[in-house]
Chains A and B, each alone.
Chain A
Amino acid sequence: MPPRLRCPAGCGLKSATTITGASRRRTIAAASHSALLLPSSLSTPTVPTSTRQFSSTAPILNSLSSLRLPDDYIPPTTPPTARPADVRKAQLLRTYTSLLRSTPLMLIFQHNNLVASEWAAIRRELNLALAAVPVPEGSPDIASKIQLQVIRTRMFDVALKVVEFYDPSTVAPTTGVTASGKKTTVTYNHDLSKSAYDAIKAATASGSTTPESSPYAQLSPLLVGPTALLTIPTVSPAHLAAALGILSPVPKMFPAPSKRKSPGYYDPIAQAGLQKLMLIGGRVEGKVFDIDGMRWVGGIPGGLEGLRAQLVAMLQSVGMGLAGTLEAPGKSLWMTMESRKIMLEEPEKKAVEGEKKEESS
């Protein structure tokens, strides 16, 4: 059990010795209420409106400041959860929404009963392959940031809805009262807020239909059963190609590493794991791709830089073609005129030459 109350309630009440039993209980309740609403730093007027604040309806607090409970007081009716912090639903939702907002390239896998040793083998081989990807000069090394993680599918689905249908900037600020009695405007627009809940409920209610083209509608059929994500923090086709070579190899495009180069990949444990892991789709820059689409992204030579170079080359060739086309009529007119001039000049020359010959003879 967690520590409940360090300081027994009586010690705060020493000054008020005349309080009878019933009223004493009420005071303790009010004090415990106020203690939760008393972050002293929040009462300053310089607090930005986007930070979380506690509103309170108790200006009587000043008179009860001596009855303040410790900051880590836990009410006995709401004991803290026994779940570790990183797998609590609230924390998972925050993690997944930030993941969805910040990760441009993610691959979605279905994993069918992989055991821990198989996961370990797959992650080991994946890290080895990613570390071997050459990083161009000046760009950060993302290989260590790429990770293969098992997700809680339903929570991820909710997070996807929050990211898709909820716009935090539309939430109107509300007025609240700080512990010291000052009125401030507060905006509750975080991903766990009531407005976020209302937004996703309204978007996915049975009456309203989400458009087929929306990324959520496209991605939600994939989020069934046990799923895992490979998240790559930038759109880097080189890293994607390396990952595909390990996780879902294709003979010519994304060949699996050779037996001599990485014998660990042909380890029976790793192979057994890879057989049970299947790539079902991906999400690139908010757009949904199937396996062939992901292979296309992985096959872009030179990555984004390569695509830019291709575009520049294409635009240049178009420009040259245009210049050539515009020049052509002028050039052909000049050629025609020039040839005509030559044609006209030649008989004259011949005539002149003939006259000269006649004169000489």
Chain B
Amino acid sequence: MITRFITDVTTRFNPFSTKAKAARLFLTFLPPNARSNGMNITTQLLPRTSAEPSTLHVKFKDGKEMNLDCETMGIKNLVEEVDRHSRILQKQSDLND
């Protein structure tokens, strides 16, 4: 996953729900030095009884925001969706260099 262009990741999930898998795995895809490189990662864990859907909110350097639906999309689809925009940004930054 290309994480260079992500500035903000906000997740919210109930770990006891099977639907939280994608959101939890997305967090594991972020590199070890993500926070020290200026990425804001906020995770909110919901109590066990809550039936709120798990959410993932990603912000990019160019200001684009993505509200991804973790309930139906698997981790592969999430990564694909995020990379689709990241690749555009990468192309632009490569042209500028």
Q: Which residues of A contact B (CB under 8 A)?
A: 110, 112-115, 118, 218, 221-222, 224-226, 272, 275-276, 278-281, 290-293
Contacts and interface: CB of A to CB of B under 8 A. Distances in A.
Interface of B: 15-18, 20-21, 24-25, 27-28, 30-32, 35-36, 41, 43, 45, 47-48
Contacts of A222: 15-16
29 contacts: A112-B27, A113-B28, A113-B31, A118-B32, A221-B16, A221-B17, A221-B18, A221-B21, A222-B15, A222-B16, A224-B20, A224-B24, A224-B25, A225-B24, A225-B28, A272-B35, A272-B36, A278-B43, A279-B45, A280-B15, A280-B45, A281-B16, A281-B48, A290-B15, A290-B16, A290-B48, A291-B45, A292-B48, A293-B48
B16 A110 contact: no
A113 B43 contact: no
Contacts of B17: 221
A110 B48 contact: no
Given A115-B32, A221-B18, A292-B47, 7 more contacts: A110-B24, A112-B28, A113-B31, A218-B16, A224-B20, A278-B43, A293-B48
Contacts of A115: 32
B45 to A, nearest CB: 6
A283 to B, nearest CB: 12
A43 to B, nearest CB: 52
A240 to B, nearest CB: 18
B28 A226 contact: yes
B75 to A, nearest CB: 9
Contacts of B16: 218, 221-222, 281, 290
